[in-house]
């Protein structure tokens, strides 16, 4: 298949794309809306424009509406919450600390305190048992078993959050503590944290199976599965919504591009291969012009941008703006740059500004140098 464009047009297009790569800011110019929409229609992402310090102080950009998909609340699920309790309030308690190697006396003291705490627990003296476990932890803060057993006592007192705190500490010291997983899983169940409960109890059975852990796991599994299925359904809906929104954006961009092309044809604006101002210019010329912060800032002004496009269609239209100092200041600056880079200036300008006045019918080339044939 032969290329429908001549080599000169392709070189100009390549130069324009190279400029966009080196200075993406120009893609946010209103005059290049059609090209930006073209890129986005294929799923491309345009870098956000950089705002100057002055702009940030004086202009507040409207915040985009959040597109985050809000999942259906779990309250819509029919969960069996029988047996759940209100969370307890955590209080300060001995959690151990950094301690060097224990002496034989310290080890013996911790073991003796543990035996005493177990006796108190079996007698139903749970508060006393917790106090003695805390003494044992102070003597040997490296024992995961002491934290797990104190967590069990908290669980017996219906203090699930305190139990979770102790068992989490135990698992930091020993990741293979089946007792810590077991008691923490039960505590999560009392709080209605069904998925967390299932994970912990499943891990407890995996490390050291016992009938009570298995019974507790069977109790929480139905609710945990309902929540998991609910979450998967919402994730699927979210993906479907995002895909639909993407297709809508692409379709909207295509329609806008087609509309812009139609309007361009009606106004006599040349297509991409004949963009006004590209003739006779090289990569260095474009970089010098569009890298100038003052030029970029000026072209962000809707009034200047509209005037620039108007003059691009017909250079003779520049005469309409001679009394507008804001617009003429930009064209004087561009004139100076064009003189330096191409040895000429903009056509169709006013005498004395480095432009040649229009001698014939209007042309579509705002940058054409009269000396280049």
Is 325 inside any structural domain? yes
Q: Is the pLDDT of residue 14 over 90?
A: no
> Same domain for 218 and 290?
no
Is 243 inside any structural domain? no
Q: Which of 211, 228, 245 is the last residue of a domain?
A: 228
> Same domain for 198 and 114?
yes
Residue 347 DSSP SS3:
strand
Average pLDDT over residues 87-101: 88
Is 60 inside any structural domain? no
At 260, list the tokens.
Answer: 């812009």
> Same domain for 18 and 129?
no
Residue 72 DSSP SS3:
coil
Neighbour-count burial of 170, counting CB atoms closer than 10 A to its CB (0-12 exposed, 13-18 middle, 19+ buried): buried
Q: CA 206 to CA 48: how far, in whole Å?
A: 50
> Same domain for 286 and 221?
no
Q: CA 370 to CA 139: how far, in whole Å?
A: 94
Q: CA 104 to CA 360: how far, in whole Å?
A: 107
> Same domain for 128 and 185?
yes
Lowest mean pLDDT among 29-38, 66-75, 295-304, 352-361: 352-361
Q: CA 104 to CA 106: how far, in whole Å?
A: 6
Is 138 inside any structural domain? yes
Per-residue pLDDT of 332-350, as tens digits, reads 777 776 655 544 444 444 4
The whole-model pTM stands at 0.49
Average pLDDT over residues 1-30: 70
| Torsion sign, CA atoms 194, 199, 203, 205 | positive
Q: Is the pLDDT of residue 95 over 60?
A: yes
Is 315 inside any structural domain? yes
Local confidence band at 100 (pLDDT 50, 70, 90 cut-offs): confident
Is 127 inside any structural domain? yes
Q: Which CATH number belongs to the domain containing residue 175 in this structure?
A: 1.25.40.10
Long-range Cβ pairs for the range 47-56 (8 Å, 24+): 49/25, 50/25, 52/293, 52/297
Q: Which domain holds residue 328?
A: 1-25+276-373
At 75, list the tokens.
Answer: 């309250």
Kindly provide the residue ranges of all beta strands, DSSP E only, lying in the chain, ordered along the sequence: none
Q: CA 5 to CA 316: how far, in whole Å?
A: 29
Residue 344 DSSP SS3:
coil
> Same domain for 192 and 289?
no
Q: How far is CA 312 from CA 16, 103, 250, 279, in A?
A: 17, 89, 29, 13
Name the domain count of the chain.
2
Is 245 inside any structural domain? no
> Same domain for 220 and 163?
yes
Is 31 inside any structural domain? no
> Same domain for 117 and 220?
yes
- Compute the chain's Rg from CA coordinates: 37
At 162, list the tokens.
Answer: 């305190």
As a whole number, the mean pLDDT across the chain is 76
Per-residue pLDDT of 17-71, as tens digits, reads 777 777 777 777 766 777 777 777 666 777 776 644 344 443 444 343 333 434 4
Half-sphere exposure of 244 (CA within 13 A, CB side): 8
More confident residue, 35 or 114: 114
> Same domain for 216 and 290?
no
């Amino acid at each position: 298949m032969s290329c429908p464009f001549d080599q000169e047009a392709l070189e100009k297009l390549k130069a324009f794309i190279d400029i966009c790569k080196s200075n993406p800011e120009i893609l946010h110019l209103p005059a290049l809306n059609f090209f930006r929409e073209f890129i986005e229609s294929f799923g491309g992402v345009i870098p956000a424009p950089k705002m100057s310090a002055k702009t940030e102080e004086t202009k507040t950009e409207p915040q985009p509406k959040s597109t985050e998909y809000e999942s259906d609340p779990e309250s819509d699920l029919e969960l069996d919450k029988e047996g759940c309790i209100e969370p307890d309030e955590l209080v300060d308690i001995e959690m151990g600390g950094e301690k060097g190697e224990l002496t034989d006396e310290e080890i013996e003291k911790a073991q003796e305190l543990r035996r005493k705490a177990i006796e108190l627990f079996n007698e139903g003296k749970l508060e006393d048992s917790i106090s003695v476990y805390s003494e044992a932890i102070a003597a040997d803060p490296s024992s995961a078993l002491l934290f797990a057993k104190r967590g069990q006592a908290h669980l017996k007192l219906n203090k699930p959050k305190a139990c979770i705190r102790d068992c989490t500490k135990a698992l930091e010291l020993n990741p293979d503590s089946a007792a810590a997983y077991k008691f923490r899983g039960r505590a999560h169940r009392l709080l209605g944290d069904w998925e967390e409960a299932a994970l912990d109890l499943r891990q407890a059975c995996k490390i050291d199976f016992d009938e009570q852990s298995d019974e507790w796991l069977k109790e929480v599994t139905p609710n945990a599965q309902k929540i998991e299925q609910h979450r998967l359904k919402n994730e699927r809906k979210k993906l479907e919504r995002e895909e639909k929104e993407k297709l809508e954006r692409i379709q909207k961009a295509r329609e806008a591009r087609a509309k812009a092309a139609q309007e361009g044809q009606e106004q006599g604006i040349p297509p991409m291969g004949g963009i006004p101002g590209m003739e006779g210019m090289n990569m260095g010329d474009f970089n010098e012009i569009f890298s100038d912060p003052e030029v970029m800032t000026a072209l962000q002004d809707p009034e200047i941008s509209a005037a620039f496009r108007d003059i691009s269609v017909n250079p003779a239209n520049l005469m309409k703006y001679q009394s507008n100092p804001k617009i003429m200041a930009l064209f004087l600056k561009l004139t100076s740059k064009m003189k330096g880079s191409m040895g000429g200036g903009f056509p169709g300008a006013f005498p004395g500004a480095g432009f040649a006045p229009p001698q014939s019918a209007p042309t579509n080339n705002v940058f054409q140098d009269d000396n280049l044939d």
